[in-house]
Amino acid sequence: MPVNRCSQDGGGGRGRQLNQFAQLRRNIYLTHEPGDVHGFRRLAAALTGEPELLDPVLDAMARLHAGAAFGSCPAASTAQLEAEIVRYLGTSPYVDRYLADALRNRGELQSALRQSAADPALTGATVAVAVAAELRPFEAGWTADALQRGGDPELIVDLLCYVAAAGLVELRPRIRALLDSPLPWAVRAEALLTLQELERTGDGTRHGLGAASAATSTADPQVPDDLVPAAASGEPCRTEGARPPAARLAQSMFYGDPGRMGKGGSGGIGTLVRELGATLARDYMPVVTLVCYNSRARSYPLQVCEELAPGHLVVRLPLFLAGENPAGFLRAEHRIERAVERALRTNRGRYGAIHVRFLDNASRAVARVARRNALPLVTTLTADPHRTVCSPEGTIRRADPESARELFNRILIGDQLLGWSNGVVAIGRNAFAGELLDYFPQLEDTRGKTLAAIDEGVSTAPPAVSVDVAGLLCDRQAEPALSPRQLDDPVLISVGRLSPVKGQVNLVQAWAQSDLWRRYNLVLIGGDFATPTDEEQLIRRQIHDCRRPELDGRFCHLPAQQNPVVRAVLAWCAARTSPGGADIYVCPSLKEEFGLSILEAMAAGLPVCAPLRGGPQTYLRHGINGFLIDTRDAGSLRRELCALLTAERTTTARLHEIKQQARRTIRERYSLAAMGREYERLYRRVAADSEKQRGEQ
């Protein structure tokens, strides 16, 4: 079947037939009240295809969510909630999270939690639920005994969270002892932060999540040398040339680190957060970017405060995480909430908005802090994970129970964030008319919300650094590297974090298992080689398995580079001429929400090959300013690239026209400056509308 590669508006709108999942969402929206538990059950059952035998965890999530969010299900009664505690506590992190919501501020249920905590197998889950639910069932004596017993570091971290939340100042000596103990660094870091909070309340005043904290002197021999306690506890980080006080933007970035571009989970979104933050800080308002630092993995040294650009500060929050992914954030939502509260409290009155960008428990934790402190919330709304529910034919895929739980959780979080938000951002100027309306029918009524559909943007200025690109690509100490003898051959180049969804392995296989390697060199940029994650190590092994002796000297894989270096490499590729043809940028991602790396390649003047599905189709016109290709697997990628790079329409003269059109597209529609102006208008409107609403109350 021929593939339609025409540029589209990226969505369905009213004229396109809805897939089964979108139809279900609309049906539930029209036929069920917002708090109707039966609507949630229908949604959960559709994900597994088992309407008559719903997974018990999904059923509990549906009932507890309905009761907690809307107060309309029987589980809202004390007797029913006590039964839920006995039946489900500790059986699943999903149920624990929804149980915490249902128990929030229900003091009459504290005795049931105390009974559960007496079971050693349930102690950890019970303490975590108590912190998340803002309940205080445990007295100082019980808590001290639990800390004394030690054991699981995660339990100790949650006990310390509880101590700080409950204001158990009498436990300060016990906590100081932890600083000198052989416990993991993550536990000692949390002990330090807990001690700081308690020492601010030396009069014994009971306090909760909103209490202020004090810095402990780094001269204290009990303090680990590699913590910066003032910054970690929310004290202001002062930098030279700081701007006068102004309304600030706080934004969260919990996948990767914008100060470590291309490493771990820091991909295109990290570049956007960094570059947009610098633009906003320079022209409009100071920006604080909150980043998680996994104190459990501790894969790189902690620098708590770092100025990425004048007025743009990144603050890394030490967090004990099982993983920097939706499952890890689910288990640690209460820890994330406390860490964000600490980081924002010093300048609480000077934030104009808080912006979250993902539908997960980390964003929900940030949003809860915003709501508690009456700070305007802005959410970037995407059709992820919604678009993954159905097959290409539009029928709902049957998910296994664990996958269905994650999908259901993120879908419910998306609805919550949309409901809580003062401002909503869609990526791409036509996004609200397409998939978003398909999957979020509640967007038909947006009273009281500011909506903005904003295209992503990149810098159109020349690279700010001078780079010996040939030396970089041919550096044999950075093996694999290109051979100087092959340097004049054209290059297929791809930039991005190492991840299965980014498709680097497919690209290497497509290149190595065809004749492409005889004509083109292959250059990959991305990944942390010094301290790789498990995922990065796996992908590098898979790439290594594709190599053969005859490919040596024709393949180069560079670790992640700073954005100015990447832009310099792209500009070098775009500017040179090769007898064998033009250098080509290839994005092999299975999906791209928008594709910042693609925009940067276009801005440099490289012909680009981008995924047919997803965001790139909104700005690429096939054969005009780039190419849309099928990237679903290595075989599709191989066929597409081989056909494209041997076609008459990809002659040198035609590619020159495509390069000019690509530059024009970015200059006119997708510049960083234009994106910055749009975001500034959004934040100002959200702050003003929120202030007006407060004045009317």
622-669 pLDDT, tens digit each:
999 999 999 999 999 999 999 998 876 677 788 889 999 999 999 988
What are 694's two structure tokens? Answer: 């407060």
Beta bridge partners of 300: none
Beta bridge partners of 626: 622
Cβ–Cβ contacts within 10 Å for residue 381, how many?
Answer: 22
Ranges 160-174, 346-360, 605-619, most confident = 160-174
Q: How many Cα atoms are found within 13 Å in the side-chain-facing hemisphere of 178?
A: 29
CA proximity to 18, closest of 7, 2, 29 = 29
Kindly report, residue by residue over 452-479, the tens digit of the pLDDT. Answer: 999 888 888 888 789 999 999 999 877 7
Q: What's the pLDDT band for 13 if we cut at 50, 70, 90?
A: very low
Q: Which residues contact 568 (CB under 8 A, 6 or more apart)?
A: 463, 465, 466, 467, 469
Measure the CA–CA gap between 294 and 402, rounded to whole angstroms.
24
Tokens 């029913």 sit on residue: 80
Measure the CA–CA gap between 653 and 362, rounded to whole angstroms.
49
Three-state DSSP at 389 gives: coil
Quote the distance between the C-alpha of residue 426 and its chain's center. 15
Tokens 């504290």 sit on residue: 110
For 597-616, give one letter per residue: b (16+ CB within 10 A) or e.
bbbbbbbbbbbbbbbbbbbb
What is the CATH code for 469-670? Answer: 3.40.50.2000
The answer to whether 678 and 279 are in contact (CB under 8 A) is no
Quote the distance between the C-alpha of residue 696 and its chain's center. 35
Q: How many Cα atoms are found within 13 Å in the side-chain-facing hemisphere of 116?
A: 26
Model confidence at 7: pLDDT above 50: no
pLDDT confidence of residue 234: 42
Q: Which residues contact 502 (CB under 8 A, 6 or more apart)?
A: 267, 496, 526, 588, 589, 590
Kindly report, residue by residue over 500-510, the tens digit of the pLDDT. Answer: 989 999 999 99
Ranges 128-142, 248-262, 290-304, most confident = 128-142
Q: Which residues contact 268 (CB under 8 A, 6 or more apart)?
A: 496, 594, 595, 596, 597
Measure the CA–CA gap between 690 and 692, rounded to whole angstroms.
5
| Domains 232-236+246-457+674-696 and 469-670 are alike in CATH topology | yes
The answer to whether 72 and 35 are in contact (CB under 8 A) is yes
Q: Is 526 left (phi over 0), alpha (psi -120 to 50) or beta?
A: left
**What are the DSSP E strand ranges found in 49-97?**
none
Kindly report, residue by residue over 370-392, the tens digit of the pLDDT. Answer: 999 999 999 999 988 998 899 87
Three-state DSSP at 309 gives: strand
Q: Which residues contact 507 (CB under 8 A, 6 or more apart)?
A: 492, 494, 522, 524, 586, 588, 634, 637
Tokens 């059986």 sit on residue: 91
Q: What angle do CA 498, 501, 506 make, to 5 degrees?
A: 80
Kindly report, residue by residue over 283-321, the tens digit of the pLDDT. Answer: 999 999 999 999 999 888 888 889 999 999 999 999 999
Q: Which residues contact 128 (CB under 8 A, 6 or more apart)?
A: 96, 100, 158, 331, 334
Kindly report, residue by residue over 568-624, the tens digit of the pLDDT. Answer: 999 999 999 878 889 999 999 988 878 889 999 999 999 999 998 878 988 999 999
Measure the CA–CA gap between 317 and 20, rounded to whole angstroms.
41
Q: What is the 3-state secondary structure (H, E, C) of 558-590?
A: ECCCCHHHHHHHHHHHHHCCCCCCCCEEECCCC
Domain extents in the chain = 20-218, 232-236+246-457+674-696, 469-670
The answer to whether 581 and 493 are in contact (CB under 8 A) is no
* One CATH from 3.40.50.2000, 3.30.40.10, 3.40.50.300, 3.40.190.10 for 232-236+246-457+674-696: 3.40.50.2000
Model confidence at 223: pLDDT above 80: no
